[in-house]
Amino acid sequence: MSVLKITKSNYEKEVLNSEKPVLIDFWANWCMPCRMLGPIIDEISEKREDVKICKIDIDEEMELAQKFQVMSIPTLVYIKSGREEKRIVGVRPKEEIEEIIK
């Protein structure tokens, strides 16, 4: 499954009402650590059909970044049944990210 871009217009449908758990990567194109994390997120999305992997560009979707109180990027937020379950900030190894989405 490919990484899904989340915007204000599809947030409710794709995140809050998702039947699958959702992992959101809050990022920005100018953020070097975010760009380092990108290939890891892509790799996870290709292997995992049971979790919806999404990205929110904080520059394009400031309102969503504020809603989640994202203070630094990259920030990964794991959501299950519309509620935040876990959060990690910064570049992390693939194994650590996979651990939070078990």
pLDDT digits 0-9 by tens, 45-98: 999 999 999 999 999 999 999 999 999 999 999 999 999 999 999 999 999 999
Backbone angles phi, psi at 8, to 5 degrees: -60, -35
More confident residue, 102 or 21: 21
Q: Looking at residue 5, what is its pLDDT?
A: 97
Could you list the active site residues?
Answer: 31, 34
Beta bridge partners of 5: 55
Domain that includes residue 20, residue range: 4-100
CATH code of 56's domain? 3.40.30.10
Closest by CA position to 3, among listed 39, 32, 29, 30 = 39
Number of structural domains (the chain) is 1
More confident residue, 39 or 2: 39
